[in-house]
Amino acid sequence: MELWGRMLWALLSGPGRRGSTRGWAFSSWQPQPPLAGLSSAIELVSHWTGVFEKRGIPEARESSEYIVAHVLGAKTFQSLRPALWTQPLTSQQLQCIRELSSRRLQRMPVQYILGEWDFQGLSLRMVPPVFIPRPETEELVEWVLEEVAQRSHAVGSPGSPLILEVGCGSGAISLSLLSQLPQERLRGSSWMREDRAAPSPLWFTDSNAYHIYLARLWPRRKGCWSRVIAVDKREAAISLTHENAQRLRLQDRIWIIHLDMTSERSWTHLPWGPMDLIVSNPPYVFHQDMEQLAPEIRSYEDPAALDGGEEGMDIITHILALAPRLLKDSGSIFLEVDPRHPELVSSWLQSRPDLYLNLVAVRRDFCGRPRFLHIRRSGP
Partner 1 sequence: MNRHLCVWLFRHPSLNGYLQCHIQLHSHQFRQIHLDTRLQVFRQNRNCILHLLSKNWSRRYCHQDTKMLWKHKALQKYMENLSKEYQTLEQCLQHIPVNEENRRSLNRRHAELAPLAAIYQEIQETEQAIEELESMCKSLNKQDEKQLQELALEERQTIDQKINMLYNELFQSLVPKEKYDKNDVILEVTAGRTTGGDICQQFTREIFDMYQNYSCYKHWQFELLNYTPADYGGLHHAAARISGDGVYKHLKYEGGIHRVQRIPEVGLSSRMQRIHTGTMSVIVLPQPDEVDVKLDPKDLRIDTFRAKGAGGQHVNKTDSAVRLVHIPTVECQQERSQIKNKEIAFRVLRARLYQQIIEKDKRQQQSARKLQVGTRAQSERIRTYNFTQDRVSDHRIAYEVRDIKEFLCGGKGLDQLIQRLLQSADEEAIAELLDEHLKSAK
| Residue 66 in the binding site for partner 1 (CB under 8 A) | yes
How many Å apart are CA 268 and CA 261, to the nearest integer? 11
Q: Which listed residue (3, 4, 13, 15) binds partner 1 by CB under 8 A? A: 15
Task: Please report, as a single letter, which amino acid is at residue 114.
Answer: L
Identify the CA nearest to 177 among candidates 268, 130, 101, 241: 241
| 3-state secondary structure (DSSP) of residue 358 | strand
Question: Do the beta carbons of residue 166 and residue 278 sit within 8 Å?
Answer: yes
- Of residues 176 through 215, those in contact with partner 1 by CB under 8 A are none
Question: Is residue 24 within the footprint of partner 1 (CB under 8 A)?
Answer: yes
| Number of separate helices (H) and strands (E) present in the chain | 14, 10
Q: How far is CA 299 from the centre of its chain?
A: 18
Asked whether position 40 contacts partner 1 by CB under 8 A, the answer is yes
CA dist 9 and 319 (Å) reads 57
- How far is it between the farthest Cα atoms of the chain? 84
Contact by Cβ (8 Å): 345, 118 = no
- Give me the least distance between CB of 190 and partner 1, in Å please: 36
Q: What track of x and - describes contact with partner 1 for positions 335 through 374 (by CB under 8 A)?
A: -x-xx-------------------------xxx-x-x---
Asked if 12 touches partner 1 (CB under 8 A), the answer is no
Taking CB under 8 A as the binding criterion, the range among 77-85, 220-228, 240-248, 345-353 that sits at the site for partner 1 is 77-85
Could you say whether residue 289 binds partner 1 (CB under 8 A)? Answer: yes
**Residue with smaller CB distance to partner 1, 61 or 221:** 61
Among 93, 101, 111, 251, binds partner 1 (CB under 8 A): 111
Distance of alpha carbon 238 from alpha carbon 302, whole angstroms: 14
Site for partner 1 in 134-173 (CB under 8 A): 134-136, 138-139, 142
Q: Which helix (H) or strand (E) holds 318?
A: helix 314-326
Residue 63 lies near partner 1 (rule: CB under 8 A)? yes
For residue 203, the surrounding DSSP H or E stretch is: strand 203-204
Interface ranges with partner 1 (CB under 8 A): 15-16, 24, 28, 40, 42-43, 46, 58-59, 61-63, 66, 75-79, 82-83, 85-87, 109-111, 117-122, 131-132, 134-136, 138-139, 142, 281, 283-285, 289, 293-294, 296-297, 301, 305-306, 336, 338-339, 365-367, 369, 371
